[in-house]
Structure 1
């Protein structure tokens, strides 16, 4: 049976192509949603871009017929702009204020009442990203759903970059003796239970009989064999891996044949410090790259403090302070101003806001994108497509700590990038599990 889906404005702002996600059913856009789109279209951000995209998309459908009568979609569905079911009479005694949300609810409720008068009524479903909107719809007896097509995968079930396998001890001994194991041998020796291997995935081999014997390796780019880690367990700019996941992260960061690296993990797991240390080593010591570029999105936690005075560098200082904290630790600065003098003398370290990255081409640089969980899918695409010849880019963040109002741990750009690139030989990923900042930080990450 075909259905009628009434779309809330936030669905269109989240995914401007959402109208194509409902197969051959009827899609209804309330007139008030067009008003809300119009109020957002001047924004110079992702929301404004999506509002303008949806506006142009709907405008193109005018050539196919009258929007208020319904126009056909390519997938067999029908798109309609609803003008005639906006009466607020049925809601005015329950929700007194005629807000935009309540007006959209009224459209869904009135459409449902009309369908019930037909011999074969179609289900009317309100689709909204707003949890309270869905709650109010349910109270009115209108079926409501979240828009799930923008979600990639639950973070807890997402690709971690590391897999533990139980094998015979003879295989572990063979790995230590030869430095490699073929993937075909591993598939025969381990009970995979439907799990797949990916390029640059790390494996922890453990004895199936329970002895202390174990080994760590990384699958090569063509997923043909397991190899030893090339990165030695030596300090890099004074930073040494404290656990096995951090050692895996350094392996990915120090490998020049892996131009895209993604790191996820809770606060205090060492993502930023390890990455900056590796970037300094590659830029200053090995001179593999001409410059170290560090950037992060301008998304505040909590209420924004408003406009900041001064030049660009002064405006960026509060946003980039976490980066400077790590640089101060690595350079062992003790007095105020020491870091500024060091960075001015080196000239190869650039700290930038992602606001200015569009249109750039960035060759031969070690690029670090911090707090990437606050990026949308479109923004991640924009950033990664800026990477020029000979550059390496590292995106890191904690999908469980998102400050962006329209993203969650299942729909953010970082999770999207990890899942889309996990089977590509040019990328590597690892999820850091153990916090190393302090016992208090680790406890807070676990229980709060």
Structure 2
């Protein structure tokens, strides 16, 4: 009996010279499951090894990364649809990759068939510890050898993998940049616009009008072209104003004073610098549903957010509970092995809030009793971010701490949980990112600041002054 004929598997052929071919690493799809649509009219090649890694990752206990692996798999399945094996290997159209003109293509490369048969191609070996990375690099090397004049690029967020690929002779290796919100982190909105000299000396045209009980000064948009609602405008003299709203032609300013801002009090806490005072104004504004506070460690972000929460719940009766959550990268694997309830398991990561409660009540005659009483009266709940998805928080004051370690997708899914009559405060320090695949330019916190600065019901404030101690200020600046 003759054995059946073996049908050769044809790897995807290079695209025309005018287009480019991008070979994607697994971490790109985990970082941004929608990355397949980010390469315009060019071809995206997914090695079989990437599909195998996604298959292993989708069942991990780390819910965040496993969820993104499943989303990436579902998108790939949707794109290949009912296409046959040959079509999938050659490339199928990626819907939505371009608004007009030719669409991008997605191809699956059967990299398990690559053999070291071409001595001129420096394929990497299958060392067990590096086998998957090497197989993905080998796909790009094979495509480059078959079409030496074409643009073949490996896209990965793994720095060492980029070095290995370049060292192996791959001409084009890039980080995934589509998720970058800014070209330079120094361009990130801070919530304030500092002008040189006297502000009014720069203004030639101004009108004064009333909006309810607020006096507004209307100036041409050209005088403050980058102004956005809820931004503060400060000059080098004594002028300080709050951007009430903007339209296509004008900016409407509500003039304030430093004394008025510095006289605010939340739960006995007074601002120690102007930036803290401006942050307190944003927190206490009923028309602002979300406040984003950024700044270095020791600037008072957590203390301000907690003090206002207690003030709003216990004194103003605005909310019924205070929910505290923070980013904890190892939490998915570690939290299950700690004893107690979810709140007790979260305690090691949320000790900073206990420290701040001690600051607010350290002078009480019985500080421990006061802290326990406040926790109960304010209905303070400590939550893991992994268990917030799928829930809706109504009539709640929510604090998300250490948000700089969250991806854009993760932060969006958390903010979408905020229900009616609630306020959310997002805190983070972009200088303390501990996620190896996230940089200040790609952090979900950066994305949130830039995408919401023009939203009239959000406020942003960068608090630069370090008030924790003079030693903390020295460490932040010099160590």
Under a length normalisation based on structure 2, what TM-score does the superposition of the two structures give?
A: 0.82
Is it true that 1:115 corresponds to 2:147 in the alignment? yes
Evaluate the alpha carbon distance shift between residue 167 and residue 93 of structure 1 in structure 2; reply closer, same or farther with a 3 A threshold: closer
2:319 aligned partner: 289
Indicate if the aligned counterparts of 1:372 and 1:396 stay in contact, CA closer than 8 A: yes
In structure 2, the residue matched to 1:239 is 269
CA displacement, residues 383-420 of structure 1 (integer Å, 9 cap, x when unaligned): 22222222111101112211233322122221111111
2:124 and 2:324 mapped to 1: Cα distance?
55
One of 419, 431, 435 as aligned partner of 2:466: 435
Q: 3-state SS of the aligned residue for 1:268? A: coil
Matched, 1:2 2:32: no
Q: Any idea what SS the aligned residue of 2:310 has? A: helix
Cα offset, 1:41, TM superposition = 0.9
In 2, Cα distance between equivalents of 1:10 and 1:111: 21
Deviates more, 1:281-290 or 1:126-135: 281-290
2:106 alignment partner, SS class: strand
Q: Which runs of 5 or more structure 2 residues have no equivalent in the other structure?
A: 1-17, 98-102
2:135 to 98, 103, 115: 103
Quick check: 75-84 or 330-339, which moved more?
330-339
1:30 to 32, 37, 47: 47
Which of 214, 217, 221 is residue 238 of structure 2 equivalent to? 214
CA shift at 1:49, angstroms? 1.2
Q: Does 1:403 align with 2:438?
A: no
State the distance in 2 between where 1:446 and 1:53 align. Answer: 41
Of 213, 217, 235, the residue aligned with 1:182 is 217
Q: How far apart in 2 are the matches of 1:72 and 1:172?
A: 54
The whole-number CA distance in structure 1 between the counterparts of 2:394 and 2:336 is 34
| 1:127 paired residue among 152, 155, 163 | 155
2:106 corresponds in structure 1 to 79
Matched, 1:148 2:177: yes
Q: Are the structure 2 counterparts of residues 340 and 196 from structure 1 closer, same or farther at C-alpha, using a change threshold of 3 Å?
A: closer
How far is the alpha carbon of 1:100 from its aligned partner? 0.7
Any stretches of 5+ residues in structure 1 without a counterpart? 207-212
Deviates most, 61-70 or 124-133: 61-70
Candidates 199, 219, 222, aligned match of 2:229: 199
Alignment of 1:248-397 (within 5 A): 248-300=278-330, 307-332=337-362, 337-338=368-369, 341-343=372-374, 345-397=376-428
Q: Report the alpha carbon displacement of residue 105 of structure 1 after superposing the two structures with TM.
A: 1.0
Partner of 1:228: 255
Give the superposed CA RMSD.
Answer: 2.9
Q: Residue 13 of structure 1 contacts residue 51 of structure 1 at CA under 8 Å; is this kept in 2? A: yes
What's the CA shift string for 1:79-117, capped at 9, x where partnerless? 11111563356446788666111111111111111113x
**Is the contact between residue 222 and residue 425 of structure 1 (CA under 8 Å) also seen in structure 2?**
no
Deviation of 1:246 after TM superposition, in Å, equals 0.9
Q: Does residue 138 in structure 1 map to residue 183 in structure 2?
A: no
Question: Is the CA contact (8 Å cut-off) linking 1:17 and 1:54 kept in structure 2?
Answer: yes
Q: Which shows bigger deviation, 149-158 or 230-239?
A: 230-239
Residues 440, 232 of structure 1: alpha-carbon distance in 2 compared, 3 angstrom cutoff:
closer
Residue 299 (structure 1) shift: 2.6
Q: Offset at 1:323?
A: 0.9
In structure 2, how many angstroms separate the alpha carbons of the residues matched to 1:360 and 1:341? 27
Deviations 1:12-42, CA, capped at 9 Å, x for gaps: 1111121111111121111111111111011
In structure 2, the CA distance between the partners of 1:122 and 1:187, relative to structure 1 (3 Å rule), is closer
* 1:339–1:149 CA distance, 2 compared to 1 (3 A): farther
Once the two structures are superposed, residues 248-294 of structure 1 have per-residue CA deviations (whole angstroms, 9 ceiling, x without a partner) of 10110111111111010010111000111111111111112222222
Q: Does 1:13 align with 2:13?
A: no
CA distance change for structure 1 residues 435 and 386 in 2, over 3 Å: closer, same or farther?
Answer: same
Q: 1:19 to 1:186 in 2, by over 3 A?
A: closer
Q: Given that residues 328 and 339 in structure 1 are in contact (C-alpha distance below 8 angstroms), is that contact kept between their aligned partners in structure 2?
A: no
Corresponding position of 1:210 = none
Q: How far, CA to CA, are the matches of 2:301 and 2:289 in structure 1?
A: 17
Shift of the alpha carbon at 1:319?
Answer: 1.2
How many pairs align?
A: 431
Alpha-carbon shift at residue 216 of structure 1 (Å): 1.4
Cα distance, 1:134 vs structure 2: 1.1
Going from structure 1 to structure 2, the CA distance change for 1:277 and 1:92 (only over 3 Å counts) comes to same
Find the residue that maps to 1:287 and give its secondary structure.
coil
Distance 1:304 1:335 in 2: 34
- Other-structure match for 1:52: 70
Structure 1 residues 180 and 86: CA distance shift in structure 2, 3 A? farther
Residues 180, 225 of structure 1: 8 Å contact kept? no
Matched with 1:39 is: 56
Asked whether the equivalents of residues 268 and 435 of structure 1 are also in contact (C-alpha less than 8 Å), the reply is yes
Pair 1:358–1:306, CA change in 2 (3 A): closer
